[in-house]
Structure 1
Amino acid sequence: MSNTTATTPPPAAPQRWSDRLGLGFMRLLARLPLAWVRGLGWLVGQVLHLVAARRRRIASTNWALCFPQDSEAQRRRAVRQHFVHFAQAWLDRSWLWEADEAIVRARLRLTGATHELQVEQPTVILAPHFVGLDAGGMAVSLNVKRPLISIYAGQLNEAVDQWIRAGRLRFGDVKLVEKHQGLRPVIHLVRGGGALYLLPDMDMGPQESVFVPFFGVPTATVPTLPRIARLGHARVVPVISRMTREGYDVEVLPAWSDYPGEDAVADTATMNQKLEAMIATMPEQYYWVHKRFKTRPPGEASLYNGD
């Protein structure tokens, strides 16, 4: 996701031996059965839940704000499960970006209203921040024969940056637009009939954000989705990436009707409302370790108690 103002990308950090070791480990994982990768992810998730105290508190705070009806024990179980899903999805990038195409295809299932993505007209694919969002992008690029657009924020680490870029460009006709370039090239590509894989549901700070409800909490949300849909004359098609034992089910939902409207704030509130319904289908797989409520309305105190 990007702001409209272009910025200069940060310089890449030099490659270190630990980077090469880490990438070598991921390439090794790509050769293992999925059950082994997921088992290791379960273990890593348990360890992260134990040692990453700050992120654990952030996830717990987010869950309490969004699901106040849950007991403390229910919240603890959900947050622990989220850490497991988070770790498993990260390790799944090994086979997503390194395994043979036949293996990747066997583990990714594109379901639902898939015809919505085959229509050759400007389209914004709304991809919420579920842990399997990279699997969702891969499933679309493997199965949809049209130009796909992704906004990319470069990584400071050069080796990791190159690995992620190569992974996201593996299949299909994918065009990466650098985040620092702003929205102008994105809108141009969308107007030309491309499909933009957009992740607009994170707190990007007060600049250009509007406060609209998210699970009943006033939440800083950038109106990028309705803005691109309006300027690009595009339909909005949501995609949900669900982790399963066999890989991922990537469900395409019907295109939203009468969207966007004339009011960007109302359209952004509608996006959050529809997002809540998607999250309710698999809440533990949403990205809770992000400070979704970091930016507060003027005069309101932080919700994270120093975290």
Structure 2
Amino acid sequence: MKEQLALGILKLAGKLPLGLARAIGSLVGHISWLTGSRARAVTEINLAHCYPDMPAPERRRLARRSLVATARTGMEVAGVWQRDWSVSKKLIHSVHNAEAYDRAAAAGTGVIAVLPHMGNWEMFSPHFAGAAQMTALYAPPKMAALDPVIRAGRENENTTLVPTNRRGVMALFKALRERELVVILPDQEPETSGGAFAPFFGQPALTMTLVHNLIQRTGCRAVFGVALPVEGGFDIHFIEPEEELYSGEQDQALAAMNRGVEACIALAPEQYQWEYKRFRKQPDMKTRLYRK
């Protein structure tokens, strides 16, 4: 019953005009703030951890805007999954610093699009449609009933979804060696075996080593990207990574990747998903930052 209800809400949200979907999302975000939700608590912890010098009233305002932005994104994503990509592509108003991606692609070694959990990253599927053969990791949702809708919304003739296991990682290596495009969201906390601690806003964060390994073994290039909401649609921004991202020294590369995520966040801090428990694991393996 719960899965069918969630599926019905997802399908309904996907049929709403963008403006109405955003308005509903904003309302949900404000309710989440006013009710003192767990998402609010995690957001405030993360912001205090990352912006310790920011005045407390300013951090609270940022936290509230973040909850609203995240709820709006959830409503927007439902539309991207259920619209034809040609329709979604028309919602992209402008592309900033497109030459950063063009330079990476021109190297002819394959490209990793590094997309933080910020804005509406699902808009990159319609953006790249027809321009590049794309491979992305995909973990089915916990609610199995949602899987067909999400999978159909993310996969088409030029996009391949691969599992988040060894077979999927091998598919990423293969795609890059064939000079294709790979999409990775870099700011989820990995298993300890697949990560190492690196600074993120000056704080130790367990950071995935996958991007570093892909670069070192294939010689590919990378570019950061975010799709930020604007009136009636989205603007896409590309950011060129620091050269240290390509360093053979893992510590240097991971720190550079996190600085790239920080550079994306600087474009619109409220659009980042601060609700995620990014610092759940700490080097001492004892600190419990999100303990209730």
TM-score by length of 1: 0.85
Match of 1:115 in 2: 102
Bigger drift between 224-233 and 47-56 goes to 47-56
Is the contact between residue 149 and residue 176 of structure 1 (CA under 8 Å) also seen in structure 2?
yes
What residue number does 1:202 align with?
188
Deviation per residue, 1:165-187 (Å, 9 max, x gap): 100014x5001111123522211
Q: Give the equivalent residue in structure 1 for 2:209.
A: 223
- Unaligned residue ranges in structure 1 (runs of 5+): 1-15
Change (3 A) 1:126 1:299: closer
CA contact (8 A) 1:238 1:253 kept: yes
Residues 275, 156 of structure 1: CA spacing in aligned structure 2 closer, same or farther, 3 A cutoff? closer
- The match for 2:73 is 89
Contact 1:188 1:232 in 2 (8 A): no
Distance (whole Å) between structure 2 residues aligned to residue 110 and residue 194 of structure 1: 24
For residues 243-270 of structure 1, give each alpha carbon's deviation from its aligned partner in whole angstroms, at most 9, with x where no partner exists.
2222221112346546411201111011
Is 102-111 or 160-169 further displaced after alignment?
A: 102-111
Alignment of 1:56-205 (within 5 A): 56-109=40-93, 111=95, 112-113=97-98, 114-116=101-103, 119=106, 120-140=108-128, 142=129, 144-170=130-156, 173-180=158-165, 181-205=167-191
1:155 and 1:28 map into 2 onto residues whose CA distance is 18
Alignment identity in percent?
Answer: 26
Bigger helix share? 2
Whole-angstrom CA distance in 2 between matches of 1:151 and 1:210: 20
Contact 1:109 1:139 in 2 (8 A): no
Question: Residue 210 and residue 108 in structure 1: after superposition, are their counterparts in 2 closer, same or farther (change >3 A)?
Answer: same
The CA deviation at 1:107 is 1.2
TM-score (norm 2): 0.89
SS at match of 1:39: helix
Residue 128 of structure 1 aligns to which amino acid in structure 2? P
Which residue number in structure 2 is paired with residue 28 of structure 1?
12
> 2:246 is paired with a residue of what secondary structure?
coil
Cα pair distance change 1:221/1:29, threshold 3 Å: closer
By how many angstroms is 1:102 displaced?
4.8
Q: Distance in 1 between matches of 2:6 and 2:83?
A: 16
| Shift in Å, 1:288 | 0.7
Compute the displacement of 1:95 (Å): 1.9
Equivalent residue, structure 2, for 1:295:
281
- List gaps (5 residues or longer) in structure 2: none
Q: Counterpart amino acid of 1:139?
A: H
C-alpha RMSD of the superposition: 2.2
Distance 2:84 2:214 in 1: 35
Task: Say if 1:158 and 1:248 are closer, same or farther in 2 by CA, change over 3 A.
Answer: same
Map of 2:261 onto structure 1: 275
Count of residues paired in the alignment? 287
* 1:203/1:221 contact within 8 Å kept: yes
Q: Is the 8 A contact 1:108 1:248 kept in 2?
A: yes
